[in-house]
Structure 1
Amino acid sequence: MSNLTDQSTSDYSLTAEEASAIAALSLELTDSYPSFNDPVLLRDAPRLAARLPEGVQRFLREFKLTDHEGHAVIRGHEFDQQRIGPTPDHWRGRQRPGPEFPEELLLMLYAALLGEPFGWATQQDGHLVHDIFPIRQHENDQLGMGSKELLTWHTEDAFHPYRSDYLILGALRNPDRVPTTLGGLDVASLSAEDIDILFEPRFSIAPDESHLPKNNTITGEEEEARFATIQRMIDERPLGPLLYGSRLDPYMRLDPYFTSVPEGDTDARRAYDALYKLVDAGMREVVADQGDVLFIDNHRAVHGRLPFKAHYDGTDRWLKRVCVTADLRRSREMRATAATRLLG
């Protein structure tokens, strides 16, 4: 496995002038917008993103249009550690916006260059920007807030038809250089028969635990209703394909920890095992250091995290996460209004 020095990682290093300009823009916007959920900010984001350095805009445009690279990184942001303060103990109950609001706004601008930011009513109480840091009671769970256990590689929200097109991870800090694992797919070594099977609806992927009521705040019937669709997916286990798009260069939706193959479908099991081994063998490590923003194509790449020792002393790895869709309209049936960005 390798890290960001690997030549296959597409990266852009900010100049000192670019980093300073981005930091100044992020701070400036905190005076104009009250939160990352502000509808005016969501309306203005594409216009504001045009104020980012031209080199950054060209880099992300190329990443999007090439439709080949599974991930890319922009390095060298000025994330003010004194202003941001210590890594929190939990995402629940935090004041919003917090001291890291400028960095959250920056991720919203990056999202606007790739599509539209959106969130889940069933994840982190409906926030559009998520916190990713170790939480003691989740250290053994298959969650981004875990630490002791391997976070198995996966497509983000692979179970859902309206999952992200892109995922943005901004590293506020990562002093222990905890690696993100990343992997892609080259189907050249798969048989034509297995590829055909993997394109067929013969596999079930259950929702991951971040979408369950136990990991969200439930205070009444309205909150309980948000999880009806998630529970239906758990109960019904709808079947779907694991590959889609071009058979020569397919997209993928994979989440081995939550995937099941119908009992008795030996051909599907064989094809799935071959696919799993192929992707697993190609996994590599990418360290998102402080000031790095990692962009993941959720059709092209799977990602996870290696185990690490959390300190719970305010110094732990802290990422910010934003989900991005290239077509907000396709999820309209699951959003309360055309204006809302929350699915569920």
Structure 2
Amino acid sequence: MATLDVTAHREQMLSLASKLPAVPRQDLYHFLDVAHKLAQELPYEVSDTLDAFNQVGNEDGYLLLRGLPVEADEELPPTPTSTPAPVGRPRLNMEAFLAVFGRRLGLHTGYAELRSGTVYHDVYPSPGAHHLSSETSETLLEFHTEMAYHMLQPNYVMLACSRADHDRRARTLVGSIRKAVRLLDDGTVATLYENKQPCEVDVAFRGGVEDPGAIARVKPLYGPQDDPLLGYDRELLKPEPGPADEAVAKLSQALDDVTEGVFLTPGDLLIIDNFRTTHARTPFTPRWDGRDRWLHRVYIRTNSHGQLPTGGERAGDVITFTPRR
């Protein structure tokens, strides 16, 4: 099941959110520790669905929780125009649900080079944003596996919606490798598994160098032969000319062919399986009126693919960049 409507649990959800500290960023470790305890009080329908997705995933590569209680639009602050968020900003409902649901799955993680090392990210349109940034709006944000070039890439990307775009045009696109691999012939799959390919990195991870080149190496497919993991970025992956390049082109087309679009509306929380999907966002038109599209994003690590190497990690930790080689 890719979508779960939780409207029937509205009052219980509000009760759980109210038990969290009122100002998350004053002591984020404590905030997430409380969220972990509250995650044990989720309605069985919700907790069982989260646990099943965490254990085996699904064919679609995402789980959408719909109908969460979000503040009325006039009660929300204006959509942000800068980052990071003020430390003293009071808790918002969708931030609360990212905490509780995220702790049911694993550990919230910040990346030192990204968004000043913050764990919670506001996602909003920004004039003149780099084309690889989530702050773009009027151009397509291309397909990417989040931080596929990072040794400790997140297991899950979680997106929660407080405001949709005015025209309800923006869609989050998700392409699942569990679907796409069925469209590929055996030779193409073997080539995708065969060698690591050069991969550039996002601007935040370039160490201030304008163009450091392909400093990482990523296998487009890896892991179990009968259930492959995906390392794909349409902008940053630079496969070697020849068979590798041709195989990645076929993979790209297959991912396009199985893509699903999700319209995020206020009260929606989307969990993307970042090891078995690639995702993108369609263009939309901001109005710069304080009521533009506003999502909240967190990254979750689990130990399912070795993202917790020391065993002593804690929700709220901030880690530094190590490129895949």
Q: Given the two structures, how large is their TM-score scaled by the length of structure 1? A: 0.82
Please tell me whether residue 122 in structure 1 is matched to residue 98 in structure 2: no
Please tell me whether residue 199 in structure 1 is matched to residue 189 in structure 2: no
| Residues 217-259 of structure 1: CA deviation (Å, up to 9, x unaligned) | xxxxxxxxxx48xx6x945623331111222331101101011
Please tell me whether residue 260 in structure 1 is matched to residue 241 in structure 2: no
> Matched residues in 2 for 1:62 and 1:210: separation?
33
Contact 1:197 1:271 (C-alpha < 8 Å) held by counterparts: yes
In proportion to residue count, which structure has more helix?
A: 1
Contact 2:201 2:215 (C-alpha < 8 Å) held by counterparts: no
Q: 1:188 aligns with which of 176, 182, 196?
A: 182
Other-structure match for 1:302: 278
Please tell me whether residue 63 in structure 1 is matched to residue 53 in structure 2: yes
> Matched residues in 2 for 1:113 and 1:292: separation?
17
Contact 1:169 1:294 (C-alpha < 8 Å) held by counterparts: yes
Other-structure match for 1:224: none
Contact 2:10 2:68 (C-alpha < 8 Å) held by counterparts: yes
Contact 2:149 2:218 (C-alpha < 8 Å) held by counterparts: no
Contact 1:75 1:293 (C-alpha < 8 Å) held by counterparts: yes
1:208 partner letter: D
Other-structure match for 1:219: none
Other-structure match for 2:135: 145
> Matched residues in 1 for 2:253 and 2:27: separation?
40
**Shift of residue 28 of structure 1?**
2.8
| Residues 100-137 of structure 1: CA deviation (Å, up to 9, x unaligned) | 44432321111111111111011111111111110113
Contact 2:102 2:108 (C-alpha < 8 Å) held by counterparts: yes
Contact 1:187 1:248 (C-alpha < 8 Å) held by counterparts: no
> Matched residues in 1 for 2:139 and 2:215: separation?
26
> Matched residues in 1 for 2:3 and 2:26: separation?
26
Q: How does 1:30-49 map to 2 (within 5 A)?
A: 30-31=21-22, 34-35=24-25, 38-49=28-39
Other-structure match for 1:82: 74
Q: How does 1:95-174 map to 2 (within 5 A)?
A: 95-138=86-129, 141-174=131-164
> Matched residues in 2 for 1:172 and 1:124: separation?
20
Please tell me whether residue 343 in structure 1 is matched to residue 311 in structure 2: no
Contact 1:182 1:284 (C-alpha < 8 Å) held by counterparts: yes
| Residues 36-87 of structure 1: CA deviation (Å, up to 9, x unaligned) | 7522233343222112222211111122223333001111111113332221
> Matched residues in 2 for 1:45 and 1:36: separation?
15
Other-structure match for 1:326: 302
Other-structure match for 1:3: none
> Matched residues in 2 for 1:249 and 1:294: separation?
22
Q: Which runs of 5+ in 1 are unaligned?
A: 1-8, 213-226
Q: 1:287 aligns with which of 246, 259, 263?
A: 263
Percent of aligned pairs sharing the same letter:
26
Secondary structure, counterpart of 1:183 in structure 2: strand
Report how many aligned residue pairs link the two structures: 312
1:157 partner letter: M
| Residues 154-208 of structure 1: CA deviation (Å, up to 9, x unaligned) | 1111111211111110001104322111111232332322212211333122111
> Matched residues in 2 for 1:240 and 1:101: separation?
37
Other-structure match for 2:290: 314
Secondary structure, counterpart of 2:265 in structure 1: coil
> Matched residues in 1 for 2:299 and 2:247: separation?
30
Please tell me whether residue 249 in structure 1 is matched to residue 250 in structure 2: no
> Matched residues in 1 for 2:78 and 2:277: separation?
31
Alignment RMSD, CA only?
A: 2.6
> Matched residues in 2 for 1:66 and 1:268: separation?
29
**Shift of residue 95 of structure 1?**
1.7
> Matched residues in 1 for 2:160 and 2:62: separation?
13
Contact 2:198 2:238 (C-alpha < 8 Å) held by counterparts: yes
**Shift of residue 20 of structure 1?**
2.0
Secondary structure, counterpart of 2:95 in structure 1: helix
Contact 1:87 1:315 (C-alpha < 8 Å) held by counterparts: yes
**Shift of residue 145 of structure 1?**
0.5
Q: Given the two structures, how large is their TM-score scaled by the length of structure 2? A: 0.87
> Matched residues in 2 for 1:157 and 1:277: separation?
21
